[in-house]
Amino acid sequence: MLTARSSFEAHLYMDLHPCTCGSGDFDRQHRLELHGDDMVAVYEGACRQCGTTRRFAFRMAEEIPPPPPAFGGSRPSEIIDPGEFADVAFRISESVGLRLLNSPKSEHYKLRDTVAYTVAAFEEILKFLPPGEDSVPSSAFTSEVGKAQYQREPGNFDRDILEGNVEEARAVLANIDKAGGPPSEAN
């Protein structure tokens, strides 16, 4: 059974594993079950495209997860590899970057949660670095997406690059926070 460190991680896993028809969209009905000593989160629902029933069950890690948008505590994910986190982080940061460039600063607050999600995804990749090592080992890449990311750009998984990505994403988030939230409504 899959072990998720948080519901945020479980949702990302489901997003990364679409239906056989190719759609990732399904009505996720959620319930918790006790299996022995394990708390299991079960997500079930019909694919909105083809109607196939989709079901995912995750044993929830015992460690209390940090608040969203974090995906888990200090340990690396067991169900999402560093290449998958990189793929998500780069896709979202590219999209958000374009939106930030093409919108007034007064509206950047609307993208804050998305940027925070990107920061969390970049931070997850760092958790795959073994202590004292300067790059994520190739053995950490277990998915097809992850292996392809690593083969295409192995240097993207070097400590200095990863730390730079986190730093840049945090700087974007700080700039959004500095610009402030929505304008107050005058009475």
Give the integer Cα–Cα distance in Å for 129 and 185: 47
Does 7 or 181 have the greater pLDDT score?
7
Give the integer Cα–Cα distance in Å for 185 and 154: 49
The pTM assigned to this predicted structure is 0.93
Q: Are 71 and 63 in contact (CB under 8 A)?
A: no
Average pLDDT, the chain: 95
Per residue in 4-57, pLDDT (tens digit) is 999 999 999 999 999 999 999 999 999 999 999 999 999 999 999 999 999 999
Q: For 68, list phi and psi in degrees, rounded to 5.
A: -60, 150
Identify each DSSP E strand in 76-172 by its residue range.
Answer: none
CATH architecture of 2-60: Single Sheet (2.20)
Peptide bond into 69 cis (omega under 30): yes
Confidence (pLDDT) at 184 = 66
Other Cβ atoms less than 10 A from the Cβ of 39: the count is 13
Class of residue 90 by CB neighbours under 10 A (exposed 0-12, middle 13-18, buried 19+):
middle
Task: Return the closest-CA partner of residue 93 out of 20, 180, 181, 166.
Answer: 166
Q: How confident is the model at residue 183 (pLDDT cuts 50, 70, 90)?
A: confident
